[in-house]
């Protein structure tokens, strides 16, 4: 049943004329100022921009689904247009395509952009997931307080194995029995946030369909939190290993210390890219299979129908795979964060030869 929704949505997402798979795919995985449902039907979202007269609030429906810079929204002395999901100040003269957009020789838009604080599709999805997580966690907490010593029931019975999984399989082995508890709130939050939003991205109807965890700004923010926590809680032993590894000759430190310092910043960068790339790639693959139907359908309707059978089969397979990937990416991000925290708070210890075990392991690698 759900497969009919993305077909209608994807087909209705084009602006008419020849089907452009690249543009259609990027439109669907990117952010927008409205929540597209199907055809020309969409849920408008509030647009908040700062123009010459301060902040202005209006509905995205004022653009009347235009994304080519043709429809002008006038608010006092300000005139706004939307082009490729970006809001610009309208130019003084229309171009030959009827758009109030000025481009240079390379096709780059030259119009100025206002400060855009709009509630976009990704922002709306973020708010929904946060509200849902608050309800979920508070419901489970109340259930534990109300039913002390009793077997879990309802949502509590679903959440308890996941919470224990994060504690016993991620936090304790990576951080240690003595220090894992203070990191549990962050690890649980980041795990459920990524997992829930990964699943919502696979749902083709509102409140799903947003590519939140495939947005690099979101993955960057999560990675920065991991970086800041690691840096703040890091003990003397951690910084000693970064700047002056014990048991390593001084002349070798001139090579290893810059690498270790670079590694401090590379770790959150890897976290950011891994989550962003894996989630975005999954959406692109699924939408590419959908695109084959319309590409071959333009050649011949019968050919498009024949290809649709194979495309739907591949989409079903990829969707099942994405359900696994949704969990795995939440697990990997949480596990790596826990490993970084564990390295930051690990106490100094020596092996039998008086050389730190981690230094020996790093030397072997």
Examine the fold and report which residue of 94, 118, 142 is the final residue of a domain before the chain moves on. 118
Q: Are residues 316 and 211 in the same domain?
A: yes
255 in a structural domain: yes
What separation in angstroms does the CA of 229 have from each of 167, 183, 268? Answer: 18, 9, 11
**In sequence order, which residues have a C-beta less than 8 Å from that of residue 153 and are 6 or more positions away?**
143, 147
- Please check whether residue 30 lies inside any domain of the structure: no
CA dist list (Å): 17 to 101, 302, 330: 21, 20, 40
Token pair in block for residue 332: 């990997």
Indicate the number of domains in the chain: 2
pLDDT of residue 314: 86
What pLDDT score does 11 carry? 52
Ramachandran angles phi, psi of 175, nearest 5°: -110, -35
Are 146 and 240 within one domain? Answer: yes
Given this model, what pLDDT does residue 18 score?
A: 74
How would you classify residue 75: left for phi > 0, otherwise alpha for psi between -120 and 50, otherwise beta?
A: beta
Residue 201, CA distances (Å) to 23, 165, 286, 326 in order? 19, 23, 12, 9
Note down the domain range covering 236: 123-364
- Provide the pairing of β-strand 115-116 with 78-83: unpaired
- Distance, in Å, from the CA atom of 227 to the CA atom of 187, rounded to the nearest integer, reads 13
Q: Give me the torsion for CA of 354, 359, 364, 365, rounded to 10°.
A: 170
Q: Which two tokens stand for residue 113?
A: 């952009």
Phi, psi of 15 (to 5 degrees): -95, 20
Q: Domain boundary at 68, 93, 118, which?
A: 118
Question: Considering 118, 143, 167, which residue would you say is the last residue of a domain?
Answer: 118
Picking from 214, 212, 199, 197, the residue whose alpha carbon sits closest to that of residue 322 is: 199
User: Checking DSSP bridges between strand 41-44 and strand 46-51, what pairing results, if any?
Assistant: unpaired
64 and 186 part of one domain: no
With respect to residue 329, please indicate whether it lies within any of the assigned structural domains: yes
Q: What is the pLDDT of residue 1?
A: 37
Query: For every one of its 365 residues, what pLDDT tens digit does the chain have, with 9 covering 90 and above?
Result: 344 444 445 554 445 567 777 777 887 888 888 887 777 788 899 999 998 888 999 999 999 888 889 999 998 889 999 998 899 999 988 888 889 999 888 888 888 999 999 999 999 999 999 999 999 999 998 888 888 878 888 888 889 999 999 999 999 999 988 899 999 999 999 999 999 999 998 887 888 888 899 999 999 999 999 999 999 998 888 888 788 777 777 777 778 888 888 888 999 999 999 999 999 988 888 888 888 888 888 888 888 788 888 888 888 888 888 899 999 999 999 999 999 999 999 876 544 343 344 333 333 33
Q: What pLDDT does 273 receive?
A: 93
Q: How many CB atoms lie within 10 A of CB 146?
A: 9
Token pair in block for residue 144: 């534990």
Do 187 and 332 share a domain, yes or no?
yes
Name beta bridge partners: 153: none
Q: For the CA atoms of the chain, what is the radius of gyration?
A: 25
Read off the tokens for 265. 């910043």
Shared domain check, 131 and 83: no
Q: Is residue 242 part of a domain?
A: yes
Instruction: Answer for the pair 211, 283: CB distance below 8 angstroms, yes or no.
Output: yes
Are residues 111 and 136 both part of a single domain? no
Which helix or strand (DSSP H or E) is residue 308 part of?
A: helix 301-345
Which pLDDT score is estimated for 15? 52
Is residue 127 assigned to a domain?
yes
User: Do both 348 and 227 map to the same domain?
Assistant: yes
Within a domain: residue 13?
A: no
166 and 70 housed in the same domain: no
Q: What is the DSSP letter of 166?
A: I
Residue 139: inside a domain:
yes
Same-domain status, 107 and 208: no
Assigned domain for 260 exists: yes
Tell me: do 84 and 130 sit in the same domain. no
Q: Is the domain of 135 the same as that of 73?
A: no
Statement to judge: residues 152 and 248 lie in one domain: yes
């Amino acid at each position: 049943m759900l497969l009919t929704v993305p077909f209608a949505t994807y087909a209705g997402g084009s602006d008419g004329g020849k089907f452009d798979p690249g543009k259609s795919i990027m439109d669907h995985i990117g952010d927008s100022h409205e929540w597209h449902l199907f055809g020309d039907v969409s849920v408008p979202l509030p647009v908040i921009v700062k123009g010459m007269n301060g902040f202005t609030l209006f509905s995205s429906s004022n653009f009347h689904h235009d994304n080519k810079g043709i429809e002008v929204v006038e608010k006092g002395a300000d005139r706004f247009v939307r082009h490729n999901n970006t809001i610009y100040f309208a130019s003084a003269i229309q171009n030959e395509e009827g758009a109030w957009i000025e481009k240079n020789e390379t096709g780059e838009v030259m119009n100025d952009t206002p400060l855009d604080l709009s509630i976009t599709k990704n922002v709306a999805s973020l708010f929904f997931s946060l509200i849902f997580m608050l309800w979920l966690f508070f419901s489970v907490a109340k259930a534990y307080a109300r039913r002390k010593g009793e077997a879990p029931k309802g949502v509590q019975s679903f959440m308890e194995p996941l919470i224990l999984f994060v504690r016993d399989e991620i936090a304790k082995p990576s951080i240690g029995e003595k220090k894992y508890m203070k990191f549990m709130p962050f690890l649980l939050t980041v795990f459920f946030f990524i997992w829930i939003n990964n699943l919502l991205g696979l749902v083709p109807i509102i409140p799903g369909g947003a590519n939140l965890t495939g947005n690099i700004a979101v993955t960057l923010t999560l990675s920065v939190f991991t970086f800041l926590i690691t840096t703040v809680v890091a003990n003397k032993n951690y910084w000693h290993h970064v700047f002056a590894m014990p048991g390593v000759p001084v002349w070798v430190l001139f090579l290893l210390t810059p690498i270790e310092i670079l590694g401090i910043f590379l770790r959150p960068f890897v976290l950011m890219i891994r989550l962003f790339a894996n989630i975005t790639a999954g959406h692109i693959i699924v939408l590419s299979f959908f695109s084959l139907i319309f590409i071959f359908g333009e050649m011949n309707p019968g050919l498009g129908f024949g290809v649709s059978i194979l495309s739907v089969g591949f989409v079903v397979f990829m969707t099942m795979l994405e359900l696994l990937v949704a969990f795995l990416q939440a697990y990997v991000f949480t596990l790596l964060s826990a490993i970084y925290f564990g390295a930051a708070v690990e106490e100094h210890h020596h092996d039998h030869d008086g050389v730190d075990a981690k230094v020996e392991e790093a030397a072997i690698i």
